[in-house]
């Protein structure tokens, strides 16, 4: 098993026809939910199946749980099985946003107890730019059986985050961009600001200017305050707007040897769905 969760397009090219591998196209654009499916229909990596962030990798939106609620484990397992993914399958996910949406699938599979899952570096544009093969043909999927073995300790709920407020043993990490964190603007959710006490580490900080994942020394620099906290025996709970863009930060920490960082899956959109939850603005 390759322990680095990030693989290169060339790595995938060399293995793409191996029978135990399933490639998953996770392309998606917030605010234009049909765009990923449409892009997949036009062109994708040969053999790839498409899983939609909202339809396949989230539960329906309710009063609480945020904009992309976690699917029920059995329901998610059934969807993975229909996509040809079993417990013995190696999975490589890609998107065209630097791994933003592919990292959500990476996290979900690990949450269900499946470790053999990877994110393709740089995404579909780099695959095309490399002159690698693409197709518009849809793969005939042979359904598989996926049995979940849920790792509850990967997940933080709203109660755990409330208990973390003012607790020096827990570091909250906000993965949204600095202006949303500070409450200067909020283009998506009903309230602006962040969870009190959280530090800000924008998820795009794990990528370089070309959209490729940083090397480990640079990743350590980017996530230094989180790593210090974990090295000191503290807990880290990572969140974003809806539990998607936090996943690259969680993946980066995992890659650096810190798999214990938790995801607050409901994130900011869940937090503000409870009127009594406090909100902070500005810098911490």
Q: Which of 264, 126, 104 is nearest to 197 (CA)?
A: 264
C-alpha to C-alpha distance for 74 and 76, rounded to whole angstroms: 5
The C-alpha angle with vertex 242 and arms to 114 and 223, in degrees rounded to 5, equals 70
C-alpha to C-alpha distance for 34 and 44, rounded to whole angstroms: 15
DSSP 3-state assignment of 207? strand
**Which stretches does DSSP call E strand in the chain?**
6-7, 21-25, 49-50, 90-94, 117-120, 155-156, 170-174, 199-200, 235-239, 262-264
Structure tokens that stand for 122 in this block:
């740089």
Concerning whether 26 is annotated as a catalytic residue, the answer is no
Burial class (CB in 10 A: 0-12, 13-18, 19+), 95: buried
* Whether 122 contacts 100, CB under 8 Å: no
- Strand 199-200 versus strand 170-174 pairing type: parallel
Residues 53, 70, 240, 251: which is the catalytic one?
A: 240
> How many CA atoms does the CB half-sphere of 220 hold within 13 Å?
7
The C-alpha angle with vertex 237 and arms to 206 and 232, in degrees rounded to 5, equals 90
Active-site residue numbers?
240
């Amino acid at each position: 098993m390759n322990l680095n969760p990030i693989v290169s397009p060339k790595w995938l090219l060399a293995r793409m026809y191996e029978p135990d591998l399933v490639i998953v196209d996770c392309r998606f654009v917030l605010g234009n939910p049909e765009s990923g499916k449409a892009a997949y229909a036009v062109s994708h990596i040969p053999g790839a199946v498409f899983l939609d962030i909202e339809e396949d990798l989230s539960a329906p939106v309710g009063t609480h749980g945020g904009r992309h609620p976690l699917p029920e484990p059995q329901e998610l397992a059934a969807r993975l099985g229909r996509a040809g993914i079993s417990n013995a399958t190696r999975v490589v996910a890609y998107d065209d946003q630097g791994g933003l949406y592919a990292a959500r699938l990476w996290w979900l599979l690990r949450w269900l107890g499946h470790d053999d899952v990877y994110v393709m570096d740089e995404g579909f544009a780099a695959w095309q730019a490399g002159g690698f093969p693409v197709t518009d043909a849809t793969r005939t999927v042979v359904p598989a059986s996926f049995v979940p073995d849920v790792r509850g300790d990967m997940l933080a709920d709203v109660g755990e985050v409330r208990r973390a407020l003012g607790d020096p043993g827990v570091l909250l990490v906000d993965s949204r961009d600095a202006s949303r964190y500070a409450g200067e603007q909020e283009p998506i959710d009903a309230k602006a600001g962040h969870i009190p006490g959280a530090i800000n580490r924008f998820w795009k900080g794990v990528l370089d200017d070309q959209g490729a994942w940083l090397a480990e020394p640079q990743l350590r620099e980017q996530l230094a305050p989180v790593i210090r906290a974990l090295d000191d025996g503290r807990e880290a709970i990572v969140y974003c707007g809806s539990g998607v863009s936090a996943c690259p930060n969680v993946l980066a920490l995992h890659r650096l040897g810190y798999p214990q960082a938790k995801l607050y899956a409901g994130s900011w959109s869940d937090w503000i769905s409870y009127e009594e939850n406090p909100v902070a603005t500005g810098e911490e």
